[in-house]
Amino acid sequence: MVQRVLLAAAFSIGLVSVPAVLASRGDRDAAYSTGDWRNASVDEEQRRFVALASRIADRFGVEIWYDVCSHGYVWEHLLPIFHALPGRILAAASATERSWPPGLSSGRQQDGLLTRGFREGDVVEGTPEVVQAFLRTSRRHLVLAAGGIRDWMAEKWGLRRGVTPFEQLWTLSHGIDEGHFWGDDASKLSHGAGLPPVLFSRYLRKQRSGAVEALMSRLTPGMPTVVYLASILNQCHSPAFLTLGPVGVAAQCGSSGRGHGHRAVVAALRHLVRTGHNVVVRLHPQDIEERGLEAYRALLPGCLFDDYRAGRSAGDLAGVADIVVAEPSGSTFAVLHDAPKTPIVYLLRDREMYGCVKDKVLNESMADVVFLGPPAQVAGNRSSAPAAALLRAVRRTMGTTVGDQQVQARLSHVRRYYGDIDGFEEYRFAAALLRRLVFGDRTMARALVELEGLLARFSVLPVDQELPQPPICDTPCCREDKAFKSS
C-alpha cells in the first residue's frame, strides 16, 4: 500500500512525497534493472546542455511533472525526456500495486523506477487537488503524459477542456503508426503537441543493453529466434490476432474479432516452438496490464514473453531475432528503424483495404505481407490454411538478406511518419518545450539561444523542425470502407 506523508500547510501547492512507491524495489527481479535512466554519463556537450537547461528552468520557474499514471507507454515515450529536462515523477495517490481503473494506475506501473536510477525524492503522490494547485501556481508548470486521449488523461486530475489549467497538461505521442488505416485509434495522429517523439533515444538504447543481454541468456543457442510483436484489439476489425483483447472487447466482437486469424497465429507459434525455434512474444502493454501474462503462458507454452517493464524495446528484440512477425503498431516502426536488416513478416486482415492504401503503409517492398482475414481472403477455406500460410511466410523469409534498397525503403517509411531522427530527440524536445514557455520574456529567450547553440554541437536537426503529418487515406476506396469510417 502506498504510504501517505502529510506535509505542513506551508507547502502551498500540497506536494506529497511517496517513498513507498520506490521503497522495496531494490530487491526486485534483475529483469527490471535496465541501467540509469535518470542521470547516466553522457558526452560533454550533452552534459553541458542538461546543466544549462536545468539552470534555465530553475531561474524562470519551469517545473515539469512526468505523469506515469497511464499505460506502459511512459517507459519509451515519456521518461526518456527526464534526463534531459529533470522534473518530478507524478504517481496517483489512490493507486495500489493491484488497482486498475483506466487512467488512474496501470497495475504495477511504478515497477522499475528505483532500479532505473530514479530516487525517492523524484516522486510526487498526486491527487486532483495537488495537481491543480501545482498547475495554477505558474503557467510555466506543466504535466506531461503519454498515451490516451488528452481529455481522458486530464480527467483523472479533475481537469476539463476549456477550463484553466487544462492547457498545461500536454499529451505526447505514444507511437505513431498505421492503425488509422485499419479502423484503430486515429487520435494518435494528433498527439505530441508538435514535439519530437522520443522513442529512438540513443541515451536510453545504451541504458537498455543489460536488459537485452538478460533476454539473450534465456534463448537456446543454435536455434533460430522468432519475435512476435502483438497489437491490441481496439475495434473488431483491428489487425490484432494474438491478443485476447481488452476485458469485454473480444466478447463483443465474436467471430468477426478474434475468430479469424487468432487460432492460426496460436497454432503457428506453437508449431515453431515444437520444431526447434526460440519464440519471443511481446504483448501490447495494455494486454499485460489488463489480462496479465499467465493467460498467454497457458495459451503458448514454451514461448518466452517479453515484459515491457523490463525496459527492452521492440527494436532491441528485433536486433537479436532471425525474423520478426509483426502486427501493425508503433513497435513495428521501432523495428524498421532500429533493426532495418531483420526480415519481417507483416500480418494484416483486410486485403481490399491494403490494395487501396499500399503506397501509404508497410508493404511488400519492405516485408512479406500475409493476410489472415476471413476465409474468403485466404487461399483455400480449410481452417488450417491461415496457419499454414503464416508458417510458409516464416520459412521463406527466415534467413533472407534484406538488401540496401529494402533498408532504404524501410527507413524512408519511418521518416514519412516520424520525420528525421538522430537519437537526440529528447534534447530537442527539452529546448522546444522551454521555447514555448518564454511568454515574451527576452531574458529567457536569450538564454535559450545559448542552449540551442549547445544543442547544435551534437544534433544536426533544428529545434523548430516541422514534424510530418502521417499520411491519411483520401481516396474513394478508403472513404467507402467501413473500417476507415469507424476511425
pLDDT digits (tens, 9 = 90+) for 383-433: 458 899 999 999 999 989 999 999 999 999 999 999 999 999 999 999 999
| 142: its cell numbers | 506543466
CA atoms of 311 and 211, how far apart (whole Å): 7
pLDDT digits (tens, 9 = 90+) for 39-90: 999 999 999 999 999 999 999 999 999 998 877 788 889 999 999 999 999 9
SS (H, E, C) 389-401: HHHHHHHHHCCCC
| Strand 141-146 versus strand 63-67 pairing type | parallel
The count of other CB atoms within 10 Å of the CB of residue 253 is: 16
Task: Note whether 342 and 318 are within 8 A (CB).
Answer: yes
Cβ burial 25-37 (10 Å sphere, 16+ → b, else e): beeeeebbbbbeb
Task: Note whether 431 and 50 are within 8 A (CB).
Answer: no
Better-predicted residue by pLDDT, 458 or 262: 458
Give the global pTM.
0.86
Average pLDDT value for the chain: 82
| 215: its cell numbers | 533476454
Cβ burial 132-145 (10 Å sphere, 16+ → b, else e): bbbbeebebbbbbb
| 456: its cell numbers | 547544435
pLDDT digits (tens, 9 = 90+) for 424-472: 999 999 999 999 999 999 999 999 999 999 999 999 999 988 888 888 8
